[in-house]
């Protein structure tokens, strides 16, 4: 290949790579909502079109908003794992974060003080980057006892007040402990369950996007 052809080929290849890795939101003026959580928002056990990210994006667009919802969630993640990966996950444009972590902490009996510190640190980092947050609350399983439950359940409203962020009190509200709305494991919402969550959470997201 002539020298000029080589240079032209290199430039085209470099441009193609740049465009491939460029965030989708860079192509338009769409606002970007990123879920940052665990399997509940990552869509565990569901086809992508039936999972939380796709369903929320569809609901927001149906409401007339030009929005892209990005999946920044990892199944099995704890607040410690989320805290460790937050900085590098927040790449590209992010206009709103739905912070949904803590369910796996409670299932593993993690000290609520550890969960609180991790969520607090993540909220501090998001505030430093001036990214609005919808904090999705979680409730501890009853079998862990009233003392654990009280310590864990108070984390989300306390941190929302302290950091001045919006709170969605319980991510699984209307879905938890309802077999028809959950997969066989009884922990993860099925397609119908995701629909209940999205319908209830969409007004919160719209309010934050419109501020």
List domains and CATH numbers for the chain. 24-210 (3.40.50.1110)
Cα separation, 186 vs 128, in Å, equals: 37
Q: Point out the residues that are catalytic.
A: 39, 185, 188
- Region for 186 from its dihedrals, namely left if φ exceeds 0, alpha if ψ lies in -120 to 50, beta otherwise: left
**Greater pLDDT, 23 or 181:** 181
Name the β-bridge partners of 134.
98, 166
The contacts of residue 109 (CB under 8 Å, 6+ apart) are 144, 148
Name the β-bridge partners of 136.
168
Cα separation, 48 vs 191, in Å, equals: 10
* Whether the predicted pLDDT of 183 surpasses 60: yes
Mean pLDDT of 162-189: 97
Name the β-bridge partners of 36.
99
* pLDDT at res. 29: 83
Q: How confident is the prediction for the chain on average, in pLDDT?
A: 90
**Contact predicate 198/53, CB 8 Å:** no
* Whether the predicted pLDDT of 173 surpasses 60: yes
């Amino acid at each position: 290949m002539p020298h000029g052809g080589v240079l032209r080929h290199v430039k085209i290849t470099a441009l193609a790579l740049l465009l491939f890795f460029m965030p989708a939101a860079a192509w338009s003026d769409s606002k970007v909502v990123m879920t940052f959580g665990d399997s509940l928002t990552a869509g565990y056990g569901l086809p992508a079109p039936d999972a939380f990210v796709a369903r929320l994006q569809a609901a927001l667009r149906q409401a007339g908003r030009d929005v892209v919802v990005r999946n920044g969630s990892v199944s099995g993640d704890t607040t410690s794992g989320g805290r460790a990966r937050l900085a590098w996950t927040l790449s590209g444009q992010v206009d709103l974060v739905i912070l949904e972590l803590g369910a796996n902490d409670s299932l593993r009996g993690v000290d609520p003080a550890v969960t609180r510190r991790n969520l607090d640190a993540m909220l501090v980092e998001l505030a430093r980057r001036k990214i609005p947050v919808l904090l999705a609350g979680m409730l501890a399983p009853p079998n862990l006892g009233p003392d654990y439950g009280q310590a864990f359940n108070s984390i989300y409203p306390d941190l929302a007040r302290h950091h001045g962020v919006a709170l969605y009190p319980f991510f699984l509200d209307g879905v938890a402990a309802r077999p028809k709305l959950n997969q066989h494991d009884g922990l993860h919402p099925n397609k119908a369950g995701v629909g209940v969550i999205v319908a209830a959470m969409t007004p919160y997201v719209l309010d934050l996007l419109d501020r």
